[in-house]
Amino acid sequence: MSNPNLRMSLSCPMPKLDFDIITLGHGSGGLLTNQLLDKVILDVLQNPILDKRHDGAFLEMNGPMAFTTDSFVISPIFFPGGNIGDLAIHGTVNDLAMSGATPQYISLAFIIEEGLNMEELWEILHSIKHATQQAGVKVVTGDTKVVERGKGDKIFINTSGIGAIHPKAKIDATRIQKGDKVILSGPIATHGIAIMSQREGLQFGTSLTSDSQPLNAATLALIEEFDEHIKFFRDPTRGGVASSLNEVASSQKIGIDLKGHKIPMLDEVRGGCELLGLDPLYVANEGVFIAIVAGSKGEEVEDFLKNIDGFEQASLVGEVVEEHPSQVILHSGIGGKRVVHMLVGEQLPRIC
Amino acid sequence: MSNPNLRMSLSCPMPKLDFDIITLGHGSGGLLTNQLLDKVILDVLQNPILDKRHDGAFLEMNGPMAFTTDSFVISPIFFPGGNIGDLAIHGTVNDLAMSGATPQYISLAFIIEEGLNMEELWEILHSIKHATQQAGVKVVTGDTKVVERGKGDKIFINTSGIGAIHPKAKIDATRIQKGDKVILSGPIATHGIAIMSQREGLQFGTSLTSDSQPLNAATLALIEEFDEHIKFFRDPTRGGVASSLNEVASSQKIGIDLKGHKIPMLDEVRGGCELLGLDPLYVANEGVFIAIVAGSKGEEVEDFLKNIDGFEQASLVGEVVEEHPSQVILHSGIGGKRVVHMLVGEQLPRIC
* Identity of the residue in A64, A238, A247 whose CB atom sits nearest the CB atom of B58: A64
A118-122, A213-217, B4-8: the lowest-pLDDT one: B4-8
Question: pTM to 2 decimals?
Answer: 0.95
Contact check, Cβ <8 Å, B98/A68: no
Average pLDDT of the segment spanning B182-202: 92
Do the beta carbons of residue A236 and residue A285 sit within 8 Å?
yes
What mean pLDDT is reported for chain A?
93
pLDDT at B1: 35
pLDDT, tens digit, for every residue of A212-249? 999 999 999 999 999 999 999 999 999 999 999 999 99
Contact check, Cβ <8 Å, B59/A62: no
Contact check, Cβ <8 Å, A346/B24: yes
Q: Which of B220, B217, B230, B227 is nearest to B173 (CA)?
A: B230
Q: Which of A10, A41, A130 is nearest to A1 (CA)?
A: A10
Residues in chain B within 8 Å Cβ distance of A281: none
Contact check, Cβ <8 Å, A58/B70: no
pLDDT at B3 over 50: no
pLDDT at A13: 84
CA distance B166 to chain A (A): 12
Average pLDDT of the segment spanning B208-212: 95
Contact check, Cβ <8 Å, B156/A243: no
Residues in chain A within 8 Å Cβ distance of B290: none
Residues 6+ apart with CB under 8 A from B214: B89, B90, B93, B94, B97, B103, B131, B134, B135
Task: Count Cβ–Cβ pairs < 8 Å, chain A vs chain B.
Answer: 268
pLDDT, tens digit, for every residue of B84-93? 999 999 999 9
**Mutation to test the A interface, candidates B47, B94, B158, B251, most A Cβ within 10 Å:** B158
- Identify the band that residue A1 occupies on the pLDDT scale cut at 50, 70 and 90: very low
pLDDT, tens digit, for every residue of A173-196? 999 999 999 999 999 999 999 999
* Percentage of residues of chain A with pLDDT beyond 70: 96
Residues in chain A within 8 Å Cβ distance of B62: 61-63
- Identify the band that residue B205 occupies on the pLDDT scale cut at 50, 70 and 90: low
Contact check, Cβ <8 Å, B68/A141: yes
pLDDT, tens digit, for every residue of A45-91? 999 999 888 778 999 999 999 999 999 999 999 999 999 999 999 99
* Identity of the residue in B66, B98, B350 whose CB atom sits nearest the CB atom of A147: B350
Cα A260 to Cα A289, A295, A334, distances in angstroms: 17, 19, 10
Q: Which of B344, B104, B134, B114 is nearest to B239 (CA)?
A: B344
Residues in chain B within 8 Å Cβ distance of A99: 54-56, 58
A48 has a chain B CB within 8 A of its CB: no
A47 has a chain B CB within 8 A of its CB: no
- Identify the band that residue A202 occupies on the pLDDT scale cut at 50, 70 and 90: confident
pLDDT at B2: 39
pLDDT, tens digit, for every residue of B231-246? 999 999 999 999 999 9
Residues in chain B within 8 Å Cβ distance of A25: 344-346
pLDDT at A206: 61
Regarding an ipTM greater than 0.85, the answer is: yes
pLDDT at B54 over 70: yes
Per DSSP bridges, beta strands B57-72 and A337-340 are unpaired
B248 has a chain A CB within 8 A of its CB: no
Residues in chain B within 8 Å Cβ distance of A161: 56
Chain B, window 265-304: residues with a beta carbon less than 8 angstroms from a chain A beta carbon: 282, 284
A107 has a chain B CB within 8 A of its CB: yes
pLDDT at B53: 81
pLDDT at B285 over 50: yes
As a whole number of Å, the CA-based R_g of chain A is 21
Contact check, Cβ <8 Å, A65/B73: no
Contact check, Cβ <8 Å, A143/B33: no
Cα B332 to Cα A33, A167, B181, B273, B340, distances in angstroms: 28, 60, 18, 17, 12
B67 has a chain A CB within 8 A of its CB: yes
pLDDT at B204 over 70: no
Do the beta carbons of residue B321 and residue B256 sit within 8 Å?
yes
pLDDT at A264: 98
Determine the straight-line distance between the first and last CA of chain A, rounded to whole angstroms. 23
pLDDT, tens digit, for every residue of A328-338? 999 997 889 99
* Identity of the residue in B29, B61, B240 whose CB atom sits nearest the CB atom of A343: B29
List the single residue in B with minimal CA-CA distance to A98: B55
Residues in chain A within 8 Å Cβ distance of B173: 54
pLDDT at A345: 81
Distance CA A107, CA B67 (A): 8
pLDDT at A2: 40
CA distance A131 to chain B (A): 20
pLDDT, tens digit, for every residue of A137-161? 999 999 999 999 999 999 999 999 9
pLDDT at B11: 59
- Provide DSSP, B181-234: EEEE-S-SSHHHHHHHHHHHT---SS---------HHHHHHHHHHHGGGEEEEE
Contact check, Cβ <8 Å, B62/A58: no
CA distance A63 to chain B (A): 5
pLDDT at B9 over 70: no
pLDDT at B52 over 80: yes
pLDDT at B4: 46
Contact check, Cβ <8 Å, B346/A28: yes
B122 has a chain A CB within 8 A of its CB: no
pLDDT at A3 over 80: no
CA distance A10 to chain B (A): 31
Give residue A206's identity as a one-letter amino acid code. Answer: T
CA distance A161 to chain B (A): 9
Domains and CATH numbers, chain B: 24-165 (3.30.1330.10), 173-340 (3.90.650.10)
